[in-house]
Chain A
Amino acid sequence: MSAETGGRVASASERIETSHQDLDTPPSSATRSPDDAHGAHGSVTVDEVALAEELAGAGITGAGRVADADAAEYALRLGDDALVLAQQLGMWITRAPELEEDVALGNIGLDLIGHARSLLHYAGTATGRSEDDLAYWRDEPEFRNAWLFEQPNGDFAHTIARQLVASLYLYELYGALETSTDATIAAIAAKSVKEVDYHRDHAVQWVLRLAGGTDESRRRMIVAVTDTWPYVDELFDDDALVERLAADGVAVLPSTLRPAFEAAVDAVFAEAQLERPTGRTAFTASGGGREGRHTEHLGPLLAEMQVLARQHPGASW
């Protein structure tokens, strides 16, 4: 597949022409050939575009760095989080509450696919697999995403609650990983943190509006927070892998991100007059995504994502 896999994508510039040659055709009499030159009005040319290096795949990780087994497993966790969340947001397009929001959720989804591609590419270097090998040819127990990301879209409030938790967590995570001793992870984090910062802003804006809008929207927002909160704890669980990696400065201990996360939640909830769930609905899901145990939502999501690729083993797209 194209230049990406062949190493760094050179910064290319290309002239886009296709069928635009008649952009400066003249005011026509119907008989005039479409290819005549120069109209009275501002001729339109399609700008030369200098293509930026694609973040994904080889863009950042193409320097040839190969991840060791631990770093690969860690990148897999992060990559799967991003991939599964992107897949979920992709389902919103054409179904958002307003057209402007189709565009906004699309932007966030695109950012996340970018993160997933970079991280999975790096994870794959340890075992000679491509980003697509990892995305399309692993089964459910081999996925390493946390449960939060595989929770269904629900209504818009549920998606926003999930976005709030996800983006506040990812913002702290990538912020900390900017100084990772693993240069590839640091580079991916540095790019991603800026994008996640915007995702965080998007989620916060909507939490405020839904919680402070109508009675109906407030009710829905409270339900969504209740339904989402059981999946918060898992994000901050430490285990042997992250402890080893954190000792080398490659990873950050998830537990250390929690205070900043909680402070951010406090600030948003204070303004939105929301509370963390308490009492009988304050569940905490056991988690287990990092070991490949998943909720019943992941299987169908993967089945849909992988169906076409798996019908054509070895095919190029």
Chain B
Amino acid sequence: MFPRGDQRLEDDRAPTGVGTANTQESTMTSPADLSVVEREPSPEEAQFDDLIAADSRIEPRDWMPDAYRKTLIRQISQHAHSEIIGMQPESNWITRAPSLKRKAILMAKVQDEAGHGLYLYSAAQTLGITRDEMMDQLIEGRARYSSIFNYPTPTWADMGAIGWLVDGAAICNQVPLCRASYGPYGRAMVRICKEESFHQRQGFEILLELMQGSDAQKRMAQDAVDRWYWPALQMFGPPDDQSPNSAQSMAWNIKRFSNDELRQRFVGMLVPQAEVMGVTLPDPNLRWNEERQAYDMSEIDWTEFEEVLAGRGPANAERIRRRREAHEEGAWVREAAAEYARKQAERRLAASGAVA
């Protein structure tokens, strides 16, 4: 199952970071070994296999292979972490949004992301892991999230580029996940996809508005597109021939399309949209290849991706620091509420005892 001895493909180094988008890629606890010696499956295994073969859904209390459960816990929690960490680069601009309308839209969007993180943590929780555990993994740096959120957002145009490119790529990846074989995950994704439909549009509109504005605004927009284009394409994960984990995820109906299929599809959407806006996609080799019925594009620079993934990106430390601080500084509040609930329950008990 290791087509290459590439260290990227090993468990911990697996190109996992790309949570929102590429969680499919990121999730295998260990690369699936499909070459196990054939043996008679147990009845519950057979039932699981039948459900998958029928493209039915697996529900929380069903028997499932351990690797399937682990794969999902990892994928869904990474996806959740990505939503939560993904709030930060945008919340950076809530206080500085240049109009009140934009401020409201941005605040609503970031708030949606918190909600999406919560939906996904709930889904992961049905597989037997608590949110507290997942949060600990995140703030202790043991969990991955989409590495795209380790890039900074120095200008307002980044709000546009994130919506258009990052959310756009995420949607391409997420829509097929609405049919993921694990029921709670699919249902969470349906809700998320419905709510996210405005995220990409508002990003497009921010950039469009900038491109129709002053020269300074146009430069700001183009600069942001230049910075976010390649990281967005990387969100789909490594090329198919270097993505061994995909096969098992596709066999399990967790993943529905290959990395390259989705990347092509995404670029195909971007090209005409970039024309409408008047921005240039920063790839001189990008053109439609009639023969292949696909876009030719430059080689993606995976070294940078690896660097960011390995924790050497511009904002890795900052993202975790802020999440940890929020969590730690909020501890006394969470404890207070839990303690209050305990006291109230006691009082109710005492009161009912007094009556009885």
Is there any pair of Cβ atoms, one from A and one from B, under 8 angstroms apart in the complex?
A: yes
Binds A, one of B71-79, B301-309, B330-338: B330-338
Q: Which residues of A contact B88 (CB under 8 A)?
A: 94
Nearest opposing residue in chain A for B57, CB measure:
A41
A175 surroundings in chain B (CB, below 8 A): none
Q: Which residues of A contact B312 (CB under 8 A)?
A: none
Q: Determine if B336 and A209 form an interchain contact, defined as CB atoms under 8 angstroms apart.
A: yes
The listed residue (A25, A110, A307) touching B111 by CB distance below 8 A is A110
Other-chain contact of B335, A87, A217, A314 (Cβ < 8 Å)? A217
Q: Could you give, for residues 132-166 of chain A, a 1 whenever the CB lies within 8 Å of some chain B CB and a 0 otherwise?
A: 10011000000000000000000110000000000
What is the bound-complex CA distance between A59 and B256, given in angstroms?
A: 44
Q: Which of B84, B193, B217, B330 has the most CB of A within 10 A?
A: B330
Q: Are A94 and B326 in contact (CB under 8 A)?
A: yes
Which residues of chain A come closer than 8 Å to B289, judged between CB atoms?
Answer: none
A2 cross-chain contacts in B, Cβ below 8 A: 101
A-B contact count (CB 8 A): 209
Q: Is the CB of B104 within 8 A of A23?
A: no
In residues 104-126 of chain B, which contact A (Cβ within 8 Å)?
Answer: 104, 107-108, 110-111, 114-115, 117-118, 121
Check B95 against A305 for contact (C-beta < 8 Å).
yes
Q: How large is the interface on B (under 10, 10 to 19, 20 to 34, 35 or more residues)?
A: 35 or more
Chain B residues within an 8 Å CB radius of A40: 54-56
Measured in the bound complex, the distance between the Cα atoms of B213 and A314 in whole Å is 10
A91 interfacial contact with B, CB 8 Å: yes
- B99 contacts chain A at the CB level, 8 A cutoff: yes
Q: Which of A113-121, A247-255, A260-268 contacts B (4 or more CB under 8 A)?
A: A113-121
Would B175 and A97 count as touching, CB distance under 8 A?
no
B102 to chain A, nearest CB (A): 5
Decide if A103 touches B178 in the complex (CB within 8 Å): no
Contact A56 to B257, CB < 8 A, known contacts A20-B197, A103-B118:
no
List of B residues within 8 angstroms of A102 by Cβ:
87, 111, 114
A312 within 8 A of B: yes
Stretch at the interface among A27-35, A63-71, A231-239: A27-35
Contact of B265 with A34 in the complex, beta carbons under 8 Å: yes
Task: Tell me which of A41, A94, A113, A132 contacts B110 (CB under 8 A).
Answer: A94
Task: Find out whether the CB atom of A113 lies under 8 angstroms from the CB atom of B104.
Answer: yes
A296 lies within 8 A of chain B by Cβ: no
Q: Are A39 and B107 in contact (CB under 8 A)?
A: no
Contacts of A103 in B (CB 8 A): 111, 114-115, 118
* B95 touching A315, Cβ below 8 Å: no
- Cβ 8 A contact of A106, one of B110, B209, B331, B333: B110
Q: Which of B315-346 contact A (CB under 8 A)?
A: 322-323, 325-326, 329-340, 343
Residues of B within 8 A of A1 (CB): 99, 101
- Contact yes or no, A99 B101, CB < 8 A: no
- Nearest A residue to B331 via CB reads A97
Q: Which of A18, A217, A220, A315 has the most chain B CB atoms closer than 10 A to its own CB?
A: A18
B121 to A: closest C-beta gap in Å: 8
Q: Check B179 for interface membership: any CB of A closer than 8 A.
A: yes
Q: Is A18 a contact partner of B171 (Cβ separation < 8 A)?
A: yes
Q: Are A113 and B340 in contact (CB under 8 A)?
A: no
- A197-219: CB near B (< 8 Å → 1, else 0) gives 00000000000111011101100
A155 CA to B325 CA in the complex, in Å?
A: 12
- A19 in the interface (beta carbon within 8 A): yes
A167–B332 Cα distance when bound, in Å, is 24
Once the chains bind, are B111 and A317 in contact (CB under 8 Å)?
Answer: no
A315 in contact with B100 given A20-B193, A30-B258, A98-B333 (CB within 8 Å): no
Closest chain B residue to A155 by CB distance? B329
- Complex Cα–Cα for A95 and B323 (A): 7
Cβ of B26 within 8 Å of any chain A Cβ, yes or no, is no
A93–B171 CB distance below 8 A: no
On whether the beta carbons of A56 and B101 are closer than 8 Å, the reply is yes
- A93 — which chain B residues lie within 8 A by C-beta? 87, 91, 94, 107, 110-111, 114
The reply to whether B99 and A213 form a contact with Cβ atoms under 8 Å apart is no
Query: With the chains together, A44 CA to B196 CA distance in Å?
Result: 14
A 58-90 binary contact with B (CB < 8 Å = 1; else 0): 000000000000000000000000010011001
Seed contacts A312-B213, A317-B101; 12 additional CB < 8 Å A-B pairs: A22-B175, A97-B333, A99-B121, A103-B111, A107-B111, A117-B101, A117-B104, A131-B100, A155-B329, A316-B212, A316-B213, A317-B102
Can you show 30 pairs from A to B with CB atoms below 8 A apart? Answer: A18-B201, A22-B176, A23-B175, A27-B179, A34-B265, A39-B179, A44-B194, A91-B95, A94-B87, A94-B88, A98-B330, A100-B118, A106-B108, A107-B111, A110-B111, A117-B100, A117-B104, A120-B100, A131-B100, A132-B99, A136-B99, A209-B337, A209-B340, A220-B332, A308-B96, A312-B216, A314-B214, A315-B217, A316-B212, A316-B213
B residues at A contact (CB < 8 Å)? 54-57, 84, 87-88, 91, 94-104, 107-108, 110-111, 114-115, 117-118, 121, 156, 168, 171-172, 175-176, 178-179, 190, 193-194, 197-198, 200-201, 206, 209-210, 212-214, 216-217, 250, 253, 256-258, 261, 265, 269, 322-323, 325-326, 329-340, 343
